[in-house]
Structure 1
Amino acid sequence: MNKFLLAVHVLAAIVAVGPVTVAASMFPPSVRKALAEPGDAQVLSTVRVLHGICRVYATVGVAVPVFGFATAKNMGVLGDTWLIVSIALTTLAAVVLAALVLPRQTALMEGIGNIGTIGNSGAGEAARRATGRLAMSTGLFNLLWATVTVLMIVRPGSTTGA
């Protein structure tokens, strides 16, 4: 049972978290491109698709900690320090995604219809600054997940010799 739960946990992380990290990272440069090329339907479509990927896969990503907890419980490692740190970092990553990344993407998406009219105006500059803040939040989210991944592989104090 441990192998099954661990396999589902790892697959969920790859299938759910991977697309969010990639799509979220691609979102700010795509918005900047949309600002630089107003009226380009392909660029606007790309931005919308990236936002959709982030929303959908963030929801699917809930399976990662669910199966992670089940795996940890079956393996008897719920009290291990490396796991507690991983849980805290995962929670922080979820908060960053839910409170910063997705709302900032949504705000930019709501204004995307105005991209063609804002051009180089003050609103255009504000949108460019917003993409910078979004990129920073996305980088933090990605860094947190990378750290959790390393902890899951290295597992300090593990008896597996890793």
Structure 2
Amino acid sequence: MTKFLLAVHVIAAIVAIGPVTVAASMFPPAARRALDAPDDVQAAGTVRLLHRICRVYAAVGIAVPVFGFGTASAMGVMGDAWLIVSIALTTLAALVLVVLVLPRQEVFVEGGGTRATTARLAMFTGMFNLLWATVTVLMIVRPGSTTGA
């Protein structure tokens, strides 16, 4: 059962978190292009599409910690430091996405936003991506783990 949970956890992370990190990273440049060409319907459509990808896959991404907790419980590592740090960083990444990234994207989708705010949005997106990269490394390396790596 542990291998099944781990496989589903990893697949969920790839399928759900991957598209969010890519779409969120593509959003600021797309928003700048849309701001530079306000009559460009395709640029505005790209901004809407990237935001929708971020929203939908963020919701799907809930499966990642759900299966992660199941996997950790089955492996008996719930109290390990690497996992606790990973949980904290995952929570922080989710907060950055929900509180800082998605609402700012929504401003652009609704026709607001400025070129200066795209830089801030890019910074928050970078923070989100860095947090996820750190969690990924912790999940692979598992410092101090006795379960092998």
TM-score after normalising by structure 1: 0.89
The one-letter code of the counterpart of 1:107 is: V
Aligned partners of 2:27, 2:68: CA distance in 1, in Å? 28
The answer for unaligned runs of 5 or more in structure 2 is none
* Structure 1 residues 29-74: Cα deviation after superposition (integer angstroms, max 9, x where no partner): 0010111122111111111100000000000000000000000001
Distance 2:24 2:123 in 1: 11
Structure 1 equivalent of residue 136 of structure 2: 149
**Structure 2 counterpart of 1:44:** 44
Q: Please list, as runs of the form range in 1=range in 2, the aligned pairs for 1:45-84 lying within 5 A after superposition.
A: 45-84=45-84
Q: Which runs of 4+ in 1 moved over 4 A?
A: none
Structure 2 letter corresponding to 1:11: I
Distance in 1 (CA, whole Å) between partners of 2:42 and 2:111 is 17
Q: Which amino acid aligns with 1:135?
A: A
Once the two structures are superposed, what CA deviation does each residue of 1:68-115 show, in whole Å capped at 9, x if it has no partner?
000000100000000000000000000000100000001111125xxx
Larger Rg: 1
Root-mean-square deviation (Å): 1.1
Distance 2:18 2:43 in 1: 22
Seq. identity, %: 75
The CA distance in 1 between the partners of 2:141 and 2:147, in whole Å, is 10
User: What's the offset of the Cα at 1:159?
Assistant: 3.0
Report the Cα distance in structure 2 between the residues aligned to 1:43 and 1:107, rounded to whole angstroms. 15
SS in 2 for 1:50: helix
Alignment: residue pair count: 149
- What is the Cα deviation at residue 19 of structure 1? 0.2
